[in-house]
Amino acid sequence: MEKKPRLKKSRYITGFDGLRTIGVIGVILYHLRPELFKGGYLGVPIFMVVSGYLITDLLLQEFDQNNRIDFKGFFIRRVKRLYPGLIAVLFATSAYITLFSQNLLHNLHMMVITNLTYVYNWWQIANGQSYFARFANGESPFTHLWTLSIEGQYYLVWPFIVLGLLMLVKNRSKIFNIVFILAVLSGIEMAVLQFMAKPNADPSRLYYGTDTRAFAILLGAALAFIWPSTKLKAKIQTKQRVLLDSIGVVSLIGMLIMVFTVDAQSSFLYLGGMFLFSLLTMINVAVVAHPGADFNRLLSNPVFTWVGKRSYGLYLYQFPVMIFWENQFRDIADHPVLYPVIEVLIIVLLSELSYRYIENPVAHFDFKQTGAYLKALVTPSTKMGARRWISYAMIVILAIGSVGLIKAPSVKTDAANTSALANHLKETKADKKKQAADLAAAKSSIAAAKKAKHDASASKSMSISQSKAIESKAKEHPVNQQYEKYGLTQVQLQKAQDVGLTAVGDSVMKDGEPILKELFPKAYIDAAVSRQMVQSIGIVQNYANTGALADNVLIGLGTNGPFTPEQLDQMMKIIGPERNVFWVNVRVPTRAWQNDVNGLLKASAGKYKNLTIIDWYGYSNPHNDWFYDDLVHPNPTGNPYYGTYIAKAILAKAK
């Protein structure tokens, strides 16, 4: 006998599979090639708006049909839909970490537990986990799962809120207003927190927070109250259809423009940009949902349907595959097309296996038959086919993953087992008070240097007696003797003692900061883990405004992400043509943007006469022994080479 549908009038809107496809492709491409798809992370709000609309629309259909909401049935359906895939990826990833990447065991147990309880996003916030840090303390393969926690929290409380609104307010237009206002308040909170944040602060708190990201779900939910899918007319006037299609085209174009242009750390994104994108998505959802418009048909095809149905698995498996691939293959920069294609194929394969053998079967499994299934599993004569071996494989994966969870706490407190890179980054974390004092000293030094600056002609020549005097004085410095073996002469080392230098960079420069400070005692160095160009432009602008930019400026950026020619031009304009600019190129073979960054810097050297590119990549690339395991950060062996190589380049042209 055919099973009766739970909701009599419900319709499956195939165009939503198209929106899910756009969303998941955007997110995957962003994680694979952020330099090309810088706004791909905006695929997440697409998921949220669609989810907010669909869940609320289904709850309203249920209430209209039965005059009640079956909370128990709702939660069982959500658990059966979401938990199988989540458990599979959590324990499969944990098993892989246990067997092949034990450097990632740190906090593994907490990550799994908080994901299963849907509070992972708050755990990330509480533990200072940055969404944008690519090399600090080992990148977690679960970083992207923050969004599932927000959706899980939404599923937990929203049915009760919907019922309360229906019982107390009743009028659905008024309910729309209430929910829309809540969405606006969430967007305002994000903007206020961004406005109040310290300049160039990591925006991960805003990115992860349920309170600051709720507007995307709430906008979709609000729409459902005034745009119910089952009450929209399929037959409408031509003018109305054209209007709907036009609105759909404009909203989709707006979404795509933002996907390709808005940086994940730009202030605009958190000052209203993400809310704007979610609003455009809500409008597009409304057009797709309307049976009288053409958008549902335009976003419906076999490919979109296939991807849309598996979008959950595609989202789940993308980051673990990428992280593990990058750990195994360290020459990613040399294969910017081939490797991403292989990674996508692996993600698709795992997602298909998950959908076919885990997600779909469990979603339709009658848990009353669990005992019988387990009995059949251990009875050899029972004909179970592939299900038996799949079940055995899952048991083994769960067992190995559980071993990793048990081992994780000891790794957390055992400094000997943490990576040398993690310890080094922790040791070199900037002391804010000392940094402020250094900045004040740098400003004073720059002012004094300008006041006491010698005549230009005198500064360009040096007599033999002066050279000998400097060399004699240089021998008194033990620092100089230490670095002679790296090719610095006594004259260069003495000259470095008086060079004014302002440096801005990322964690690679942070590694080299002690040596650079030793060589250039009058230098002010502002380097931080996970820093990118988008943050640094404001930092340099502030230093220029406050007189903290010396005649020589050192830049070390590009490790954590690429930048555009326009951003480089903006940086050079702020520094100005009267200063020497020394820009260290990057050695980051595990990221696709390495060659793009270095190519842009090389091309820019001919554009700016005051720009010198320090080819750290060419100098260091043959020497893997100079680096930690990530092949990016210089280790104690490589740091002196980093510092002295930069020093030689600066001293050749320093003012």
User: Phi-psi bin for 552: left (phi > 0), alpha (psi -120 to 50), beta?
Assistant: beta
DSSP-assigned beta bridge partners for residue 501 = 523, 552
Burial of 446 (0-12, 13-18, 19+ CB in 10 A): buried
Place of tokens 């319709």: 11
Strand pairing category for 580-584 and 523-527: unpaired
CB contact set of 622 (below 8 Å; sequence gap of 6+): none
Tokens read off for 400:
């190995």
CB of 627 closer than 8 Å to CB of 638: yes
What is the greatest pairwise CA distance in the chain? Answer: 106
Query: What values do phi and psi take at 171, rounded to 5?
Result: -65, 120
- Residue 228 CA to residue 335 CA, distance in Å, equals 48
Encoded tokens for 238 = 């031509």
SS3 451: helix
Q: How many CB atoms lie within 10 A of CB 174?
A: 12
Distant-in-sequence, close-in-space partners of 167: CB < 8 Å, separation ≥ 6: none
Q: Which of 53, 90, 74 is nearest to 397 (CA)?
A: 90
CA dihedral 297, 302, 308, 310 (to 10 degrees): 170
Q: For residue 553, what are the β-bridge partners?
A: 502, 581
Q: Is 366 exposed, middle or buried (0-12, 13-18, 19+ CB in 10 A)?
A: exposed
How far apart are alpha carbons 215 and 154 in whole angstroms? 11
Calpha distance 250→246 (Å, rounded): 6
H-type alpha helices, 560-625: 565-575, 594-605, 616-620
Q: Please confirm, yes or no, whether 630 is among the known catalytic residues.
A: yes
**How far is 220 from 8, CA to CA, in rounded Å?**
23
Sheet holding 580-584, edge to edge: 523-527, 501-505, 552-556, 580-584, 611-614
Residues 557 and 536 sit within 8 Å (Cβ to Cβ): yes
Helix 71-100 vs helix 108-116: angle between axes, to the nearest 10 degrees? 160
Q: What span, in angstroms and rounded, lies between the C-alpha atoms of 502 and 540? A: 9
Token digits of residue 119: 């509070």
Cβ–Cβ < 8 Å for 132, 41: no
Determine contact, residues 133/530, Cβ cutoff 8 Å.
yes
The CA distance from 614 to 577, in Å, is 18
C-alpha 446/C-alpha 450 separation (Å) is: 6
Active-site hit among 109, 144, 290, 633: 633
Q: How far apart are CA 290 and CA 8, in angstroms?
A: 18
Report the sign of the C-alpha dihedral through residues 566, 593, 536, 602, in that order: negative
Q: Which of 507, 530, 536, 620 is catalytic?
A: 507
The question of whether 623 is a catalytic residue gets the answer no
- Which of the residues are catalytic? 507, 630, 633
